[in-house]
């Protein structure tokens, strides 16, 4: 039986039950909510299979955080200036080509043999060119760059995004192939469990892992770019995917573990978990101490934890609907005044950000952490100083 942390809507639990019927083991984290086929916050383990929609369309989306050698008093007088500089330096939203000239576009990953798994020279070259252009771009939706201060006023940088158009192309390409369609042909979002020992499954596995390397390179470049803009040095990096699949041993068995909006949290493994634009974030680690009951719960959760606070209001419900000319068709649940009041009360300097990312549309992170129980330990609490996201009108087809 799948282990469930926290309280969830019936349709989310129904998705988990459906996934669990095909998996060897399954779990749902406390920040879970409805997704495509598999719920966000879901974890599923398979024998020799991987789920394309389980990994998702933003392959290797994840979080990276860097602890710097700076303290809050050193940057506080420049916070607004730094927020403007971050927004001007990095590419968010519709600016999907990196406008900086020092992104690692010559990374060895671009010469990896896994690219050969993309069918056809034209499609392969097109996807690789797009990946080069977008490396180090942040995207939109819930993707962000944040500057934080922890409980000792030490400055941290945090980022959240994935493999951009590269991962999106891989996911939809294999979704199409699994339904006997051509690469690039639109295919409905339905379960596609690929045998990792079959040619199609092996090809997907290799490209998924390549997308993971790509996402790591992009996030680390962005985070280090911000540290440089702040005038600091990197002291510690905490970095994890939360939309990915791994080969792991559980209960003495080798399994393929898919985490969709869930962070790996083996004992002592650190993770960076964000809240919202107007809430604290945390650095956590998988529990290293505890009784047999805690260890059993960690194992049943497949050593996984939350990746964020968890959405409770849909994007459309939050922002409402407008015509192309801006006329309101249906008002949203959140107004700009409500969002701005929350962020200002928290003392956050916000650049960009739409109503669909207001703190009002998320759970509160302390409650979600509490629901995970003693399976994780909070190492640092990070209060946001600067939050930079895509602007409200900026469209991005690659958001998760």
pLDDT attached to residue 227: 98
> Percent of the chain beyond pLDDT 90?
80
- Rounded Cα gap, residues 75 and 88, in angstroms: 18
pLDDT of 2 strictly over 60: yes
- Rounded Cα gap, residues 322 and 331, in angstroms: 8
> Is 225 within the bounds of a domain?
yes
pLDDT attached to residue 323: 67
Least confident span in 108-122, 218-232, 318-332 = 318-332
pLDDT attached to residue 399: 46
> Is 199 within the bounds of a domain?
yes
> Percent of the chain beyond pLDDT 70?
94
Closest to 223 in 3D by CA, of 308, 134, 147, 131: 147
> Is 336 within the bounds of a domain?
yes
**Tens of pLDDT, residues 142-179:** 899 999 999 999 999 999 999 999 999 999 999 999 99
Q: Average the pLDDT over 42-46 and give the result.
A: 98
**Tens of pLDDT, residues 223-282:** 999 999 999 999 999 999 999 999 999 999 999 999 999 999 999 999 999 998 999 999
Confidence of residue 318 (pLDDT cuts 50, 70, 90): confident
State the CB neighbour count (10 A cutoff) for residue 85. Answer: 15
pLDDT attached to residue 274: 94
Q: Which two tokens stand for residue 72?
A: 């809050």
pLDDT attached to residue 176: 96
- pLDDT top residue among 34 and 314: 34
pLDDT attached to residue 392: 62
Beta bridge partners of 351: 388
- Rounded Cα gap, residues 125 and 234, in angstroms: 35
pLDDT of 346 strictly over 70: yes
> Is 397 within the bounds of a domain?
no
pLDDT of 185 strictly over 50: yes
> Is 29 within the bounds of a domain?
yes
Q: Which residues constitute the domain of residue 222?
A: 3-103+113-388
Q: Which helix (H) or strand (E) holds 165?
A: helix 164-178
Q: Average the pLDDT over 26-39 and give the result.
A: 96
Answer positive or negative: Cα dihedral of 232, 238, 242, 246: positive
Least confident span in 6-15, 100-109, 227-236, 335-344 = 100-109
Q: Which two tokens stand for residue 115?
A: 């690219």
List, as one string, the DSSP characters of 223-255.
Answer: HHHHHHHHT--EEEEEEEESEEEEEEEETTEEE
Confidence of residue 105 (pLDDT cuts 50, 70, 90): confident
> Is 204 within the bounds of a domain?
yes
pLDDT attached to residue 95: 43
CB 149 within 8 A of CB 156: yes
**Tens of pLDDT, residues 51-87:** 999 999 999 999 999 999 999 999 999 999 999 999 9
Interior angle at CA 280, CA 230 and CA 342, nearest 5: 100
Residues 6+ apart with CB under 8 A from 171: 52, 53, 55, 56, 57, 58, 59
**Tens of pLDDT, residues 299-313:** 999 999 999 999 888
| CATH number of the domain to which 313 belongs | 3.90.1860.10
Q: Please give the tally of structural domains in the chain.
A: 1
Closest to 388 in 3D by CA, of 101, 151, 158: 158
Beta bridge partners of 264: 304
- Rounded Cα gap, residues 143 and 162, in angstroms: 9
pLDDT of 393 strictly over 70: no
- Rounded Cα gap, residues 114 and 397, in angstroms: 24
């Amino acid at each position: 039986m799948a282990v469930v942390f926290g309280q969830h809507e019936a349709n989310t639990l129904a998705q988990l039950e459906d996934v669990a019927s095909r998996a060897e083991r399954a779990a749902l984290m406390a920040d879970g909510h409805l997704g495509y086929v598999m719920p966000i916050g879901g974890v599923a383990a398979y024998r020799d299979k991987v789920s394309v929609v389980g990994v998702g369309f933003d392959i290797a989306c994840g979080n990276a955080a860097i602890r710097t050698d700076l303290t809050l008093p050193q940057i506080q007088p420049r916070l607004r200036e730094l927020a403007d500089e971050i927004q001007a330096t990095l590419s968010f939203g519709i600016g999907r080509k990196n406008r900086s000239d020092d992104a690692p576009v010559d990374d060895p990953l671009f010469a990896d043999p896994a690219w050969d798994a993309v069918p056809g020279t034209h499609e392969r070259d097109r996807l690789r060119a797009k990946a080069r252009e977008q490396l180090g771009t942040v995207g939109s939706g819930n993707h962000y760059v944040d500057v934080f201060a922890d409980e000792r006023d030490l400055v941290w940088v945090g980022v959240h995004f994935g493999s951009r158009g590269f991962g999106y192309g891989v996911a939809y390409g294999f979704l199409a192939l699994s339904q006997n369609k051509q690469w690039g042909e639109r295919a409905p979002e339905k379960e596609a469990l690929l045998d990792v020992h079959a040619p199609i499954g092996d090809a997907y596995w290799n490209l998924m892992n390549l997308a993971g390397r790509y996402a790591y390179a992009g996030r680390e470049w962005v985070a280090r770019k911000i540290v440089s803009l702040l005038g600091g040095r990197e002291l510690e990096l905490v970095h994890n995917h939360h939309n990915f699949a791994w080969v792991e041993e559980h209960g003495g068995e080798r399994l393929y573990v898919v985490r969709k909006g869930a962070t790996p949290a083996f004992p002592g493994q650190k993770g960076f978990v964000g809240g919202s634009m107007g809430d604290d974030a945390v650095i956590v680690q998988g529990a290293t101490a505890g009784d047999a009951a805690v260890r059993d719960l960690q194992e049943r959760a497949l050593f996984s934890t939350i990746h964020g606070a968890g959405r409770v209001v849909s994007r459309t419900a939050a922002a409402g609907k407008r015509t192309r000319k801006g006329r309101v068709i249906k008002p949203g649940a959140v107004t700009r005044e409500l969002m701005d009041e929350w962020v200002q009360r928290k003392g956050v300097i916000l650049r960009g950000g739409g109503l669909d990312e207001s703190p009002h549309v998320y759970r509160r992170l302390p409650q979600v952490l509490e629901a995970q129980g003693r399976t994780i330990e909070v190492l640092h609490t990070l209060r946001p100083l600067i939050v930079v996201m895509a602007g409200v009108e900026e469209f991005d087809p690659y958001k998760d």
